[in-house]
Chains A and B, each alone.
Chain A
């Protein structure tokens, strides 16, 4: 496969679609369909998970309802296997909690005529010193 020239649009489009589902508690579970049953990895706050089923369990274990999100930047790169690497920087607010900065990296890969999330790394940007 070759580089996908649409990587920028794919990155932005994916992020928008993904968070629209994730941030609404009624639709959150459907983000599991973005992941492969075997070929997806998620690292959520250092906790490593493989496969759509376990990823869904993780998502369902989150205790907040609504997320209000402000995306600062979405940086994308094409990968040599036709996929897209995406780095998101933003802030999120769970229900009435104070807002937190976070970063999330996705790697999209092509499979079965569409993209799936092969890698997903999420962290809140909180530090050991002020």
Chain B
């Protein structure tokens, strides 16, 4: 889909989900400073933005190419195809702090997400957007805390308007996903070791991610992500 130079270590694909009008597109626009081009794929109704970042962990520096997929308004028609969820590694689930309905819909979105995502327990960051509109706020912190606790979701309040916490929300998700990947890598290395010692069949763990530049790793990212499809 994209033919950018492959000078990164990881390609991460995130989705933004939530009711129409909660500020998904504005939040993305804010995150990418409006500088990065947006690409619209009309056949599947996907609008996506890209950004490069560096993630430091366990003494290593990882160059990340982040792709954030946004709906193109078809959620107004309650029409999201499975293509939208395919290969997504993390989810930003957004509601509007000034709209009770958008908050109540979060449980439906979580249901949808669990049905279509690669795993029953994917990495999700819950964002209460429009936190700058104090006067109009109708969803209390207690309400959100109860929900976030019930579903074990990290929660953050953002403002796509002022930019408050927007970067933090995305980076929180990057951290979660990277941690899962690193653990999966450990598992895979372990599994490889065990396969070689004929203890286990050749199993694949976690999101089928390829660490580029590593011996034996495939350089065809699109091919590797396609294999990950379990929709």
**Chain B residues with CB under 8 A of A128:** 44, 81-83, 231
Would you list the 5 A-B pairs with minimal beta carbon distance, nearest first? A97-B73, A126-B45, A98-B72, A128-B83, A45-B79
B211-231 interface code vs A (CB 8 A; 1 in, 0 out): 000000000000000000001
| Contact residues, B17-73 vs A (CB, 8 A) | 19-21, 40-47, 72-73
A98 and B47 contact, Cβ closer than 8 Å, known pairs A126-B81, A128-B82, A129-B83: yes
Q: A127-B81, A127-B83, A130-B83 are in contact. List 7 more A-B contacts (CB 8 A).
A: A63-B20, A63-B21, A63-B76, A98-B45, A98-B47, A100-B72, A128-B83
Choice from B42, B78, B231 contacting A99 with Cβ under 8 Å: B42
Inter-subunit contact A130/B78 (CB<8 Å): no
Count of B interface residues, CB-CB < 8 Å: 23
Inter-subunit contact B72/A97 (CB<8 Å): yes
In angstroms, how far is the closest chain B Cβ from the Cβ of A10? 27
Inter-subunit contact B1/A126 (CB<8 Å): no
Bound-state CA distance A99–B42 (Å) is 8
In angstroms, how far is the closest chain B Cβ from the Cβ of A97? 3
Chain A residues within CB distance 8 Å of chain B? 44-45, 47, 62-64, 94-95, 97-101, 123-130
Inter-subunit contact A100/B82 (CB<8 Å): no
Which residue of A is nearest B21, CB measured? A63
Bound-state CA distance A99–B41 (Å) is 11
Inter-subunit contact A129/B44 (CB<8 Å): yes
Inter-subunit contact A100/B83 (CB<8 Å): no
Choice from A45, A47, A94 contacting B73 with Cβ under 8 Å: A94
In angstroms, how far is the closest chain A Cβ from the Cβ of B25? 9
In angstroms, how far is the closest chain A Cβ from the Cβ of B17? 15
In angstroms, how far is the closest chain B Cβ from the Cβ of A99? 7
In angstroms, how far is the closest chain A Cβ from the Cβ of B211? 26
12 A/B residue pairs, CB under 8 Å, sorted by A: A63-B76, A64-B20, A98-B40, A98-B47, A100-B42, A124-B45, A126-B43, A126-B44, A126-B74, A128-B81, A130-B41, A130-B46
Which residue of A is nearest B82, CB measured? A128
Bound-state CA distance A98–B77 (Å) is 14
| Contact residues, B69-123 vs A (CB, 8 A) | 72-74, 76-79, 81-83
**Chain A residues with CB under 8 A of B40:** 98
In angstroms, how far is the closest chain A Cβ from the Cβ of B103? 15
In angstroms, how far is the closest chain B Cβ from the Cβ of A90? 13
Bound-state CA distance A127–B20 (Å) is 20
In angstroms, how far is the closest chain A Cβ from the Cβ of B212? 23
A126 and B79 contact, Cβ closer than 8 Å, known pairs A98-B47, A101-B42: yes
Inter-subunit contact A98/B81 (CB<8 Å): no
Bound-state CA distance A27–B115 (Å) is 38
Bound-state CA distance A94–B71 (Å) is 13
In angstroms, how far is the closest chain A Cβ from the Cβ of B182? 30
Most chain A CB within 10 A, of B20, B42, B73, is at B73
In angstroms, how far is the closest chain A Cβ from the Cβ of B117? 16
Bound-state CA distance A99–B43 (Å) is 11
Bound-state CA distance A57–B42 (Å) is 29
Bound-state CA distance A129–B87 (Å) is 12
